[in-house]
Structure 1
Amino acid sequence: MKYKDILDKYPFPQKVKEEINAELERLNVNKTKAKKVVERCFEAYLKNLVEPGEAAGIVAAQSIGEPGTQMTMRTFHYAGVAEIDVTLGLPRLIEIMDVRKNPSTPMMTIRLKDEYAKNRDKAREVANRIEATYVTDIAEILTDIVNMRIIIKPDTHAMERKQLTLEEIKKKLEKNLKVEVEEEEGNLVIQIKEPSYKTLMNTFDKLKKTVLVGIKEIRRVIIRKEDDEYVLYTEGSNLKKVMKIKGVDFTRTTTNNIYEIYEVLGIEAARNAVINEAKSTLEEQGLEVDDRHIMLVADAMTSDGELRQVGRHGVAGEKRSILARAAFEMTVNNLLDAAVRGDVDKLNGITENIIVGQPIKLGTGDVELISKIGKNLI
């Protein structure tokens, strides 16, 4: 860094130092002017720091909660992707804060490695390996009750599109259903050994649910061209299995299921996912919330290495203060349980002090001054 000696005199974060240095280098400022600029930057930096005793948590909650009242409550069509619905607005924000294990519209954005990203046919190959293909997608299934057998009539066009052969389908069915499959005049036949209508229908139901190729959780894959590469969008999500698919660039592949990210990639990745998902949900509605407020909430949700929701089963429900827990939800239960255990509330927080009518320990209330007044001052 050209201006390192000037910048090192001020306690800026490293990222801020790098940004100031880059801008000074771009403008090619001399040392005297650089000193003045850095001094002014430091003044601005100090003004933006949180003051001691500031209610950072309440400000963050208010900053996210207030725009939340102006959000829509509908499920929207995903912009530019045909027939994929995705939950946006307030329901999505609630899903993020509750860290739902099963979001209402799970979805993945899959980016491909260079050799697959530029070629549509190769991108289609990867899509076929990911999208769940059922027997009903590529064939007609008929039941022959008289001869106690099931006849599968394949659709050659559908098989070509999914890049499947009759032999591959036969092997897959034999492996999954553990029955013998015979080939007759281009059709596949499953003969039921015992003359039982119930066995026939059970086999028929299993056959309809059999996934021949792809990942069961991913119902549909759509290919879109973005800039100069093809990107896959999926309806449904399974990050662990998708990462193993040949041709997928897993370093740039994302899902909107935060809990799945936590299980597969760990707590730091989950923290980033909470921030990114909350930011994009708010921005999509045209609402501006400072990143630091969202980061504070994400930190509170992930601070102990586990992914916790904001509600009564997570951050709010684990407060040490009995009165703060009771003020949030389940008032009677919280007070009764605390009374049975003989718990003591130290009244250290904000909520509990407001309840009992004491000054809160924030701002001027955080400072206790004792002054000795002399006779001559009265």
Structure 2
Amino acid sequence: MKIIKKKKANFPESLIDEIAAASERRELTDKELGELIDRIIKAYERAKVEDGEAVGTVAAQSVGEPGTQMTMRTFHYAGVAELNVTLGLPRLIEIVDARKKISTPTMAIYFEEEYMDDEEFVRRIANQIGKSSMNDILKNFNLNYADMNVVVELDLDKINDKRLDLDDIMKRIEKAFKRVEIDNNILSFEPPSPSIRELRLLADKVRDLQISGVKNIGKVVISREGQEWAIHTEGSNLGSVLKMEGIDKIRTTTNDIHEIEKVLGIEAARNAIIKEAQTTMEEQGLTVDVRHIMLVADMMTADGSVKSIGRHGISGEKASVLARASFEETGKHLLRASIRGEIDHLTGIIENIIIGQPIPLGTGSVGVVMKPRS
């Protein structure tokens, strides 16, 4: 810190920590440390964005070009073979389009320190989260056409194996079906009217009755990750899962950005956009400077809600009429602007290109005034 203050270097805290760690590891003298900091200052200044740089255009190119190298397929989730998750270009399009309904929502659920190695606890929570229907816990299932009823026998071993509560299941059954007789673990259901069609509909309803699980979550997969257990899900419901006991509220995530915004707020959604876009790129072996992705995320979340990059979001809401018209729906934008009497002040890049003026970037962003000789 002394040397950095002496050299008047304005470094972020994380960089100072890295320099200190490297200095301790290599046992540098004060002179060597001074030289290292001099070189870092040069590299740091070089990495800064120059005044008048077209950051938006560079970010668009930096994200767009690797997008052409990406695959179009849906892959299996890395490390969890049973779950499908959208990767590559379709996932990147989902992120920048800010889709409300994504094609493969998924959650990674982690546990607090005292539970992370407790397999029994993790399995119990997994069965509370994952969807289970009556079909999963039946031993026998009979359609009785003579007595016009559906008779089922519950399999107590399966119920215990799934760590479910029998009383809770019975309550759900009684709530869902008015005409049901319970004799120990044998249940008899009667249709509202004695017809074969009603009986068959009732049979399907009995089979499909959900007896446990969190809304919007289907299959769950338990996996061992290093020293701890984790759960990956098909479907997502961050709000409900975070309320459960033993769940690590810091590390548990979902890939549904709108859900993160709803539960944790806009700053969390911005971080989620950055993380999801970066992960998507890295899985394809592509590296993009995080600053480009951060700019995209900042633009998408600047107004306090997640907006798409397109005609219904950022591009369609620009202040400049010509910039909006140059993107999509040209006629609509020009007609609306003429009806409202809008004025374009030509402050941006696109509108100046359209009318053939120098753009306000680089040398064009500087106005030179000469004093006349007096």
Scaled by the length of structure 2, the TM-score of the pair is: 0.92
In structure 2, what is the equivalent of residue 133 of structure 1? Answer: 132
In structure 2, what is the equivalent of residue 236 of structure 1? Answer: 235
In structure 2, what is the equivalent of residue 158 of structure 1? Answer: 158
Q: Distance in 2 between matches of 1:162 and 1:264?
A: 29
Task: State how 1:267-282 maps to structure 2 within 5 Å.
Answer: 267-282=266-281
Change (3 A) 1:359 1:80: same
In structure 1, what is the equivalent of residue 71 of structure 2? Answer: 72
Task: State how 1:44-63 maps to structure 2 within 5 Å.
Answer: 44-63=43-62
In structure 1, what is the equivalent of residue 182 of structure 2? Answer: 183
The one-letter code matched in structure 1 to 2:86 is: T
Q: Distance in 1 between matches of 2:159 and 2:134?
A: 10
Task: State how 1:352-371 maps to structure 2 within 5 Å.
Answer: 352-371=351-370
The one-letter code matched in structure 2 to 1:171 is: K
More displaced stretch, 196-205 vs 87-96: 196-205
CA deviation digits over 1:305-352, x for unaligned, max 9?
Answer: 111111111111111011111111111111111111111111110111
Conservation of the 8 A alpha-carbon contact between 1:126 and 1:248: no
How far residue 85 of structure 1 moved from its aligned partner, in angstroms, is: 1.0
Task: State how 1:66-145 maps to structure 2 within 5 Å.
Answer: 66-139=65-138, 141-145=141-145
The alignment yields a C-alpha RMSD, in angstroms, of: 2.4
Q: Distance in 1 between matches of 2:18 and 2:285?
A: 28
Change (3 A) 1:193 1:372: closer
Task: State how 1:1-378 maps to structure 2 within 5 Å.
Answer: 1=1, 3=3, 5-6=5-6, 9-139=8-138, 141-164=141-164, 166-175=166-175, 177=176, 179-184=178-183, 186-192=185-191, 194-195=193-194, 200=199, 203-371=202-370
How far residue 225 of structure 1 moved from its aligned partner, in angstroms, is: 1.0
CA deviation digits over 1:201-249, x for unaligned, max 9?
Answer: 5544543442211113211111111111111111111111111222322
Q: Distance in 1 between matches of 2:329 and 2:200?
A: 49
The one-letter code matched in structure 2 to 1:358 is: Q
What SS does the aligned partner of 1:223 have?
A: strand
Aligned length: 373
Q: Distance in 1 between matches of 2:34 and 2:273?
A: 39
Change (3 A) 1:229 1:169: same
- Give unmatched runs, 5+ long, in structure 2: none
Q: Distance in 1 between matches of 2:142 and 2:330?
A: 59
Change (3 A) 1:181 1:40: same
- Give unmatched runs, 5+ long, in structure 1: none
Change (3 A) 1:284 1:188: same
Scaled by the length of structure 1, the TM-score of the pair is: 0.91
Change (3 A) 1:48 1:80: closer
How far residue 59 of structure 1 moved from its aligned partner, in angstroms, is: 0.4
CA deviation digits over 1:58-104, x for unaligned, max 9?
Answer: 10110000000111101111223122111100000001111212111
Q: Distance in 2 between matches of 1:16 and 1:193?
A: 71
